A = this chain, B = another copy of it.
Amino acid sequence: MTSHNPDASRAAYYEQIAQQRLAPLWESLHSLVPKAPQPKAQAAIWKYAQVRDLVMQAGALISAEEAVRRVLVLENPGLPGKSSITPNLYAGLQLILPGEIAPSHRHTQSALRFIVEGKGAWTAVNGERTTMHPGDFIITPSWTWHDHGNPSADEGGEPVVWLDGLDIPLVAHMDAGFAENYPEATQPVSRPEGDSFARFGHNMVPVRHRVSDPTSPIFSYPYARSREALDTLYRHGELDEWDGVKLRYVNPATGGWPMPDIATFMQYLPAGFKGRTYRSTDATIYCVVEGKGTVKIGNDEFTFEPHDVFVAPSWASVSLAAQAESVLFSYSDRPVLTALNLLREERS
């Protein structure tokens, strides 16, 4: 090293230490420890009007059996090739046709299903099946056997589309993914439909139930009841300037989130609502159930209609406005941020 050219001597030094798999922190400190989050993920919207045909075409292209899960992944334009809608979360639109089965398996990834279109298909979890209706929120928790099916057209089956939300990118980042296939296409049904809900859904629980798991013992939250709760509160005068009327789904055995890694919400915006601006370090995916409105995310603005899906990255400012009364489902990685003591929020 010469003292004449410090840049050159540093460059030489950097080459030398690289041989030992060492790097100079001072060259990257600002990007490694930023003043505020610098997400690569971007705001984006998927308009169901543009996407629906493509989903239906997949039905002709590949069978559920061959695909295992016939899903179009919604890939964040800022995270190309990563099958991610945010750094921690995955979103996809799954199609199941009459008479099809998506075979039984289990994995450490937690999954939610939010029913977009169609009814009568079922999800089985832990030996119990639940029938899908638009707006229902269904969970298939980590390491539970689960399969989906649809009655044949003769039995009244119709194409059903739902939004899959999983923590696939989170579990991949953690190097903690395990999976197994069930030996049969479907697991045996050992409990009648509605059993879990009877046990845990009425603000009562079985007297000898011990909580051994953070996941909810009810796995279907029907839209009819969620919608009724939102309606009642709106009629009672509840209206937050940021959120409208917003509830979060809970695990009735703990009061916590239904699954330990994913937060889930449903909110109501009356016609004419113009929400104030909010941001937080969790990244949120929205799915429109009813209505029509606009969302501003950072510098982007999108109009939304039923079944559209949009995403707000960490720390992006979000404000919602509704032209017609609207209902939005949403999910985020908030429990992860909270568990790591990294959640920060700002209402302005």
Contact = CB atoms under 8 A, between A and B. Distances in A.
Contacts of A214: 341
Contacts of A238: 206
B25 A250 contact: no
A290 B157 CA distance: 43
A192 to B, nearest CB: 5
A161 B338 CA distance: 34
B175 A29 contact: no
Copies of this protein in the assembly total 4
- Residue picked from A10, A24, A267, most chain B C-beta under 10 Å: A24
Contacts of A34: 177-179
Given A198-B232, A204-B226, A207-B247, A20 B54 contact: yes
A200 to B, nearest CB: 8
A113 to B, nearest CB: 14
Interface stretch (A71-79, A299-307, A317-325): A71-79
B344 A32 contact: no
Interface of A: 1, 9-10, 13, 16-17, 20-26, 28-29, 32-39, 41, 44, 46, 50-51, 54, 57-58, 60-62, 66-77, 83, 87-88, 90, 92-93, 107-109, 142, 168, 170-180, 191-192, 194-195, 198-199, 201-208, 211, 213-215, 218, 221, 225-226, 228-229, 232-233, 235-236, 238, 240, 243, 246-255, 260-261, 265-267, 281, 283, 313-315, 333, 336-337, 339-344
